[in-house]
Amino acid sequence: MPGTDTENIIIIDDIEVDIASLYSIKHRCVPGKCSKNKCCCSKYDICIDEVEMKRIVGYLPEAVKFVPHLDDGSGFENIFEEEEPGLFIIDAEEDGLCLFAYPDEEEKIFCSLHSTALELQLHPHKVKPRSCITWPLAVTDDAPMQLSIAEDAFSFPCNIRREKSLSLDPDIAQIVKDVFGEQFLMKLEKSDR
């Protein structure tokens, strides 16, 4: 983790965790809070594996209610581009906005997969891609895997810098639990800071 103070690094389940960065952020994913130019849905490529793709395809009939352009009348548009075997990127519009994103009348951005989850009374992490659920946390693919926050996290309206805190923000804790599991979260919360 470039520029990271190594005394803030702890090891949990072979993952190097930048604990200071995780404790430094307050996060609230509020649908409709973002605009196109200040939206994670338009700033990042969304990579998914085959399991995620199959899960998302299963929710397309519901998601298309929010993004009708995904159904061209003869079936669903192919919105996945194979990056490498077993890894796909969700296509985006010319302006970079994910094809699952949609604006309301005020041009505020919503996610059709998030909206689908709420409509079906599911937690969004059951429907959305792992990379979307993980954000604003950053996870490297390197060995050892590293966990911190995205470098540009504070440039988005859903994130606020916290002064020194002795606990994780509840929404950050929920992300850690959803992505890494309850045991990982417990180890993180018990770590000596």
Contact 10, 125 (CB under 8 A): no
Task: Write down the pTM of the prediction.
Answer: 0.84
Which one-letter amino acid corresponds to residue 79? Answer: I
Report the helix count and the strand count for the chain, using DSSP H and E: 6, 12
- Say how far apart CA 124 and CA 116 lie, in whole Å: 8
Model confidence at 3, pLDDT cuts 50, 70, 90, reads very low
pLDDT tens string 154-184: 988 889 999 877 889 999 999 999 999 999 9
Contact 128, 111 (CB under 8 A): yes
- Say how far apart CA 46 and CA 98 lie, in whole Å: 8
If one compares 3 and 66, the residue with the highest pLDDT of the two is 66
Q: What is the pLDDT of residue 97?
A: 87
pLDDT of 118 higher than 80: yes
Q: What is the pLDDT of residue 193?
A: 53
Model confidence at 1, pLDDT cuts 50, 70, 90, reads very low
pLDDT tens string 5-16: 567 889 999 999
